[in-house]
Structure 1
Amino acid sequence: MLPLMQPVPLADVPQGTVLRIVGAAGAGFPSPAQDWEDDGISLIELLRLDRAASFVFRISGSSMIEAGIHDNDVVVVDRDTRPVEGHIVIAIVDGGFVCRQLVRRSGAMFLEARNSRQCYEATSAEGVEIWGVVRTGVRDYRR
């Protein structure tokens, strides 16, 4: 059994440092991977932020909560991924960035919000610039 290592706040980690994994934290039944060990983890590599085509956006608003993207979440967006139906994308609409899901309706592509509690009008994807495809997200669970 490995000795228990203390977590280190990310703010205290020098840039370029590879973080050591503290251990597996079960979120249900005990996992057979509990004894699995890894030498370390680089958040830059994990989130693939070292790519020239990857960008980070902070989400503002609740239009995508049913897609698991909440107000103030951070998303990693790839500019070199071809957007297809079903992708969550960042698009430029009326001169500003929006986060929406790319959907097909009656043969046409639309950008749709994912919050049934509020009314958001679908935007035709025709003539709209799809800036990039959302690949992953990061959330602060303390809020």
Structure 2
Amino acid sequence: MSLIPVDPLRSDGIDAVLVPILGQALCAGFPSPADDFLEGALELPRWLVPNPPATFLWQISGDSMRGAGIHDRDLACVDRSLTAGHDDVVVAAIDGQMSCKRYLLDGKAARLAFDNPDLPAFFLGEHGEAEIWGVVRFSIRWHVARGGLRR
């Protein structure tokens, strides 16, 4: 098996972008990604963030997405420029409360589901007004003990 060569990342910061970290946990309710709620930023390689103006990091709260490999205190990288498709992990505003869910299409009906078998899926609009806010591109998890996010 041959390895595919990978171009090294530049060290001058040109191939990196600062992605804002929103200050409240994703499932705890959040009205909008206003600058007042920014907690800091994390520098990421540009190839991970194709559309920086539409991209935010949000800390996950809870275990409702553990089947997707997203756990409590992980950072979700959310891109607002993407259109959600079947089986995507999305951030949805449900009655103004932001939440991370799995987006499922059943024919023409869209459902939001937890990736936790203990929690049921529900149809968009079934529990109030729902709007897809963005698509989760990836998540970041620490595999060692860590303190709070640093600015």
The alignment's TM-score, normalised by the length of structure 1, stands at 0.66
For residues 103 and 37 of structure 1, the distance between their equivalents in structure 2, rounded to whole angstroms, comes to 34
Q: 1:134 aligns with which of 109, 133, 136?
A: 136
Q: Do residues 94 (structure 1) and 123 (structure 2) align?
A: no
Identity of aligned residues (%): 33
Aligned equivalents of 1:37, 1:101: Cα separation in 2: 32
Q: Name segments (4+ residues, structure 1) moved above 6 Å.
A: none
Pick 1 or 2: higher relative contact order, CA cutoff 8 A, min separation 6.
Answer: 2
Q: Which amino acid in 1 is paired with 2:57?
A: V
Q: Deviations over 1:19-76 (max 9, x none)?
A: xxxxxxxxxxxx7439x56433542414317610111111110001111111111011
CA distance in 1, matches of 2:6, 2:109: 48
**Per-residue displacement from partner, 1:101-121 (whole Å, max 9, x unpaired)?**
1112354110000012x2x23
* Rg (Cα) greater in structure: 1
Is 2:68 the partner of 1:67?
yes
> Unpaired runs of 5+ in structure 2?
11-15, 17-43, 146-151
The alignment yields a C-alpha RMSD, in angstroms, of 2.3
SS of corresponding position for 1:66: helix
Alignment of 1:41-56 (within 5 A): 42=16, 43-48=44-49, 51-56=52-57
Q: How many residues align?
A: 110
Cα distance change, pair 45–106 in 1 and its aligned pair in 2 (3 A): closer
Partner SS, residue 52 of structure 1: helix
Point out where structure 1 has 5 or more consecutive residues left out of the alignment.
1-30
